[in-house]
Structure 1
Amino acid sequence: MKNWSISHYLFAVALIASIFSAGFTAQPVHAAPHLSTIYGLHVSGNQLQNGNGENVRLLGVNRSGTEYKCINNAGIFDGPSDAASVDAMASWHINAVRVPLNEDCWLWINGAQNAYTGNAYVQAIKDYVNLLNSRGLIAILDLHWNAPGTTPATGQQPMPDADHASDFWWSVASTFKDNSAVIFNLYNEPHADSDGGNCWRYGSSAAYAAPCSSVGFAVAGMETLVGKVRGAGANNVIMLDGWGYANYIGGVLSSLPYDPQNNLMISAHIYDNSGCTTTSCFDQQVAPVAQQLPVIFGEIGESDCQHGFIDSVMNWADQNNVGYLGWAWDTYDCGSFPSLISDYNGTPTQFGQGLRDHLASI
C-alpha cells in the first residue's frame, strides 16, 4: 500500500467535502412514531388517555370506501391501502383514522360476494389496522352500512338492526379486543329522531314502551351493543354517535348506556348544512357533554370545497378539548362529497388545505 502524507489526506477530505456539498442534499431524518402514545387508551373523567396516563385528543381523517366497495363487488378499499398511502395521511400531523365498515361484508351474509367479504374482508381490515398502528395512528372502526333481515347492506339505516348488529360487534370486538389502539364507534349517524333517547339507548325493547316505532324494523340499542362488546371480553374505548344524524348530542348524558368499564366517549358530526353549526350552539349542546366525557367531532365538512366553516369548528374544538376528523380522505368531487384530497399522495383540495394547515399549526 502506498504511504500518504498528511497533505494528501487533507486534500482527500477537502475533495470529498466539496463533492457532497455540490452534489448531494441532506435528507431529513424521520423519527419513528411514538407507538406507546396510542396504546392503553381509556377514559378518565372527560379525558381520553393512553397507557402512560397522557391525555389524547383525536385529530385525523375518515377513510371512506370499506363501507361500500365490498357490497358492490368492486373491491374492499376505494383507492390504495398500502404503506405509502398511510404515510401520506400521517404527514398531515394526524393521530387517528376512522374506518367505516359494512355489516354484511364482515359477517359474509345477504349475498355479499366471496372475494371481498368474510375472511377476506376481515383480514384486510386487520391488516389495515395494523398498518395504521405501525405509523402511530389510532384506528376507529364504525358500523356504517347495515340492513335488517335478508336485505343487503347497501346504504345507511336509521339505527342498528337487531338481526345482525349484535353479531357484528361481538365478532369485531373479539377480533380487536387485544388491541387497545382501536376504538369502537358503535353506529354511524343514528336518526330515529321522533323516538329520541329511549330508542337510541334501548332499541326495540318491549320493556320501554316499544321505542323505535318510526324505524320500520327491530332495532338494537346502544346498551345492547355495549353489552356485546364487553361480553366478547373487549375493554376498548367505545364511541357513541349522538342522534339526528349524529349532530345532536345534547341529550346523551341522560340516556347513556350502562358500561361496566366506564369507557365511553361521544361523537358529533358537524357539517355546514347540519342543525347545530354555530359556536353558540356548540356552547349550549356540546360543551356541557365535553365537561363530563371525551368528545370528538367524528366527521366535519362543508359543501363549498372551502374551509371557512371548518376553520371556525376547529378553532372552537381546540378551545374546548374536542377532537375532530375530516370527511373524507377520498378523491371525489369535494362539493357533493367533501373530499380532502385530489390524489392519494395527499395533495389537498381547498377544503383539505384548511384541515392540513390547521393541524400543522397546532
Structure 2
Amino acid sequence: MRRPTRAAAVSVAAVTTAAAAAALVPTLAAGSASGAAPACAVVYSVANQWDGGFQGNVVVTNNAAPTTSWKLTFDFPGGQKVAQGWNGTWTQSGTTVTASSMSYNGALATGASVSAGFLADWSGSNPAPTSFALNGTLCNTDGTTPPTTPPTTPPTTPPTTPPGGGDSAPPELHVSGNRLVDSTGKQVVLHGVNRSGSEFMCAQGRGIFDGPVDDTAINAIRSWKGVNAVRVPLNEDCWEGLSYVPAADAGANYVSAISGFVDRLVAHGITPILELHWTHGTYTGNSTGCPDVNATCQKPMPDAQYAIPFWKSVASTFKSEPSVVFEMFNEPFPDRAAATADQAWTCWRDGGTCPGIGYRVAGMQSLVDAVRGTGARNVILLGGVAYSNDLTGWLTHEPTDPAGNLGAVVHVYNFNSCSSASCWDSQLAPVAARVPLVSTELGESDCGHSFIDQYMAWLDAHDLSYLGWTWNTWDCSSGPSLISAYDGTPTSYGIGLRDHLAALG
C-alpha cells in the first residue's frame, strides 16, 4: 500500500517520538516478608536461549524518590558478554554490565517500572546475576524473590506445545513444499495486521512509530481473536542512519526501537514480518511517488547501494530468531518503468541496470544472497510486480535459495487489476500450489468489508495466510484503516477482518 504524504500523515497520525519501554515478563511485587519495600527492585529473566547466545530482560522498579534518569549495574558471573540491547544504552567492562536510560524512558516516579532487554553470548554455563544496583543503590535487599538461573545448557526439545501439537507461539517457521510449517512439521497459517509508521515517521523527522507499540498496544492487537502475525514496515535510510534522518530516530536508536518492538511481539506469541518499505534512489518515471533520492516514498525497486547492506544488517540482527519472517521489498513496480513484462521480471530477479530506473537496482536474487550470506535461515517472502499484485512471472523467475525457505507475496485491494476470483484462480492458485503464498496486505478503499469478505473466503479455501492493512487510526482518505483507536476499536472495515478471524475459531 502506498503510504500517506507528509501532509496527510500529519493530519491523521499521532506523533510518537520513540518506542515505549515494555516488559517481556510480569513485574514482581517489591514487598518483603516484613512489608518494607527496597529502594529498588529488579527482575531478571531469560526470554530465549540457544547454543552460545541468549536474550535477556530486566524489569526495574524504583521505590525511592522520583528520578529523571537511571543507571542499572550488575555483574555477569559466568563470563557472558552483551552484544546489543534496547530501551537503554548497554555497555560492559569486564564482568560489569551497565544499562543507562534513553531520552524517552529516563523519568521514573516512585513505584514506576521500566523494562530493557539485550542479546548476549555465553559459553559453558549461563548463570543469572545475583546483585543489581540502580543509580548506585543496591536493589532487592529486603529478601524479595531472587532472580532465577536459566538452564546451563540449551534445551534439547521444543518448548511445551499447545493442544494439538506444534510449536508454542510464535512458531519456528520454515518452508515445506507449498506450506509454512513449524519445527514439528505442523502447518502454520498466519492471520494478522500491518502496523504502519516505522517506514515513514523517521524519514519525516517525526519519531519512529505512528502510535503506541508497547505491551498495552500489542495486547489490543491480540484482543482480536485469531491474530498471530504483525507486519512491520522498515526504512533503510533510518536503519542505516543517513545524515538527513534526525539522530534520535536513526541508526542505533532506530535499530534498538525496532528490535524492542519485535521482541515484544515475540513475547506475546506473535510472528513478526519485517519488510523493506521505503528505499533510496532517484526515480521520476511513471507512477513516481516523489523525486527525492532519499527513502521518503515508495520506489519501483530496492537500490543496490543501501538495500543490500540493509538486509545484511537486518538478517544479522534477527538470524537467531527463526520466528521472524523477512519480506524483501514491499511493492515492486518495475513494470511501470519497463516496456515489456519480460524486462520487468528480469529486473525484479536480477537487478542491475533496469529500463526506466535511474539507480542501480538490487534484484531479489541479490537480496536473498545478502540474507543467506549472514547465515540466516529465516523464511523469506518475495512480492511480485505491479505493486505485488501480479505473480504471473514469479515461478519462472524464482530466485535460488540454498536454505529452501522462499515464499511468495501478493497484495490485493478492490482497486487492483487482479481483484476477482477468476484472476485469483488463474494467477494466484498456481503459485500457491508450488510455494507458500502470503497476502501480506489486503483491503478495500471504501472502508467497508464486502470485498475483503470474498477475498478472505478464497484465501481460507486454499489454506493461505493474510494480513489486513492497517492497524493505524487514519481515515479512509489515507487508505484502509482497521481501527479508530489503539485500544482496538474497529472501523467498519476492521469489523470485517476482526469478525472473520473470530469466526475461523
TM-score band by shorter chain is: 0.7 to 0.9
Shift of residue 36 of structure 1? 2.2
TM-score (norm 2): 0.63
1:200 aligns with 2:348: yes
- Equivalence for 1:106: 239
Q: Which residue identity is paired with 2:484?
A: S
Given that residues 281 and 299 in structure 2 are in contact (C-alpha distance below 8 angstroms), is that contact kept between their aligned partners in structure 1? Answer: no
- Provide the rounded CA distance (Å) in 2 between the counterparts of 1:124 and 1:33: 30
- Provide the rounded CA distance (Å) in 2 between the counterparts of 1:283 and 1:355: 22
Shift of residue 335 of structure 1? 4.1
- Equivalence for 2:493: 351
- Equivalence for 1:51: 183
TM-score (norm 1): 0.87
Residue number among 49, 54, 65 corresponding to 2:197 in the alignment? 65
The one-character-per-residue Cα deviations of 1:18-75 (angstroms, maximum 9, x if unpaired) are xxxxxxxxxxxxxx99562423210000010011211011110000000011111111
The one-character-per-residue Cα deviations of 1:211-265 (angstroms, maximum 9, x if unpaired) are x212221100000000000001100000001111000012100001110011001
1:118 aligns with 2:118: no
Given that residues 46 and 293 in structure 1 are in contact (C-alpha distance below 8 angstroms), is that contact kept between their aligned partners in structure 2? Answer: yes
Residue number among 197, 204, 215 corresponding to 1:83 in the alignment? 215
- Provide the rounded CA distance (Å) in 2 between the counterparts of 1:294 and 1:334: 31
The one-character-per-residue Cα deviations of 1:265-300 (angstroms, maximum 9, x if unpaired) are 101000111010000000000000000001011100
Shift of residue 333 of structure 1? 0.4
- Equivalence for 1:223: 365
- Equivalence for 2:279: 146
Q: Which residue identity is paired with 1:85?
A: A
Q: Which residue identity is paired with 1:180?
A: P
In the TM superposition, 1:177-326 aligns within 5 A as 177-193=319-335, 194=338, 195-204=343-352, 210=353, 212-326=354-468
Q: Which runs of 5+ in 1 are unaligned?
A: 1-31, 205-209
Given that residues 42 and 48 in structure 1 are in contact (C-alpha distance below 8 angstroms), is that contact kept between their aligned partners in structure 2? Answer: yes
Given that residues 202 and 222 in structure 1 are in contact (C-alpha distance below 8 angstroms), is that contact kept between their aligned partners in structure 2? Answer: yes
Point out the more displaced range, 186-195 or 148-157: 148-157
Shift in CA distance, 188/78, structure 1 to aligned 2, threshold 3 Å:
same
Q: Which residue identity is paired with 2:431?
A: V
In the TM superposition, 1:7-22 aligns within 5 A as none
- Provide the rounded CA distance (Å) in 1 between the counterparts of 2:447 and 2:196: 17
- Provide the rounded CA distance (Å) in 1 between the counterparts of 2:467 and 2:477: 18
- Provide the rounded CA distance (Å) in 2 between the counterparts of 1:173 and 1:61: 22
- Provide the rounded CA distance (Å) in 2 between the counterparts of 1:250 and 1:33: 39
Shift of residue 90 of structure 1? 1.0
Q: Which residue identity is paired with 2:345?
A: G
- Provide the rounded CA distance (Å) in 2 between the counterparts of 1:33 and 1:128: 24
Given that residues 38 and 136 in structure 1 are in contact (C-alpha distance below 8 angstroms), is that contact kept between their aligned partners in structure 2? Answer: yes
Given that residues 89 and 346 in structure 1 are in contact (C-alpha distance below 8 angstroms), is that contact kept between their aligned partners in structure 2? Answer: yes
Q: Which residue identity is paired with 1:143?
A: L
- Equivalence for 1:27: none
- Equivalence for 1:339: 481
- Equivalence for 1:11: none
Shift of residue 343 of structure 1? 0.1
Residue number among 270, 274, 279 corresponding to 1:137 in the alignment? 270
Q: Which residue identity is paired with 1:38?
A: P
- Provide the rounded CA distance (Å) in 2 between the counterparts of 1:333 and 1:33: 40
- Provide the rounded CA distance (Å) in 2 between the counterparts of 1:70 and 1:222: 25
Shift of residue 110 of structure 1? 4.3
Secondary structure in 1 aligned to 2:392? Answer: coil
Shift of residue 151 of structure 1? 2.7
Given that residues 33 and 136 in structure 1 are in contact (C-alpha distance below 8 angstroms), is that contact kept between their aligned partners in structure 2? Answer: no
Shift in CA distance, 322/335, structure 1 to aligned 2, threshold 3 Å:
farther
How many residue pairs match? The answer is 325
Given that residues 39 and 179 in structure 1 are in contact (C-alpha distance below 8 angstroms), is that contact kept between their aligned partners in structure 2? Answer: no
User: Higher helix proportion, which one?
Assistant: 1
Secondary structure in 2 aligned to 1:164? Answer: helix
Given that residues 471 and 482 in structure 2 are in contact (C-alpha distance below 8 angstroms), is that contact kept between their aligned partners in structure 1? Answer: yes
Q: Which runs of 5+ in 2 are unaligned?
A: 1-159, 283-291
Runs ≥4 residues deviating over 4 A: 32-35
- Equivalence for 1:174: 316
Given that residues 173 and 183 in structure 2 are in contact (C-alpha distance below 8 angstroms), is that contact kept between their aligned partners in structure 1? Answer: yes
Shift of residue 192 of structure 1? 0.4
Residue number among 79, 82, 97 corresponding to 2:230 in the alignment? 97
- Provide the rounded CA distance (Å) in 2 between the counterparts of 1:217 and 1:347: 43
- Equivalence for 2:172: 40
Secondary structure in 2 aligned to 1:143? Answer: strand
- Provide the rounded CA distance (Å) in 2 between the counterparts of 1:261 and 1:164: 24
Secondary structure in 1 aligned to 2:180? Answer: strand
Given that residues 37 and 50 in structure 1 are in contact (C-alpha distance below 8 angstroms), is that contact kept between their aligned partners in structure 2? Answer: no
Secondary structure in 1 aligned to 2:387? Answer: coil
- Provide the rounded CA distance (Å) in 1 between the counterparts of 2:499 and 2:245: 40
Shift of residue 321 of structure 1? 1.6
Given that residues 170 and 269 in structure 2 are in contact (C-alpha distance below 8 angstroms), is that contact kept between their aligned partners in structure 1? Answer: yes
Q: Which residue identity is paired with 1:68?
A: F
- Provide the rounded CA distance (Å) in 2 between the counterparts of 1:335 and 1:311: 21
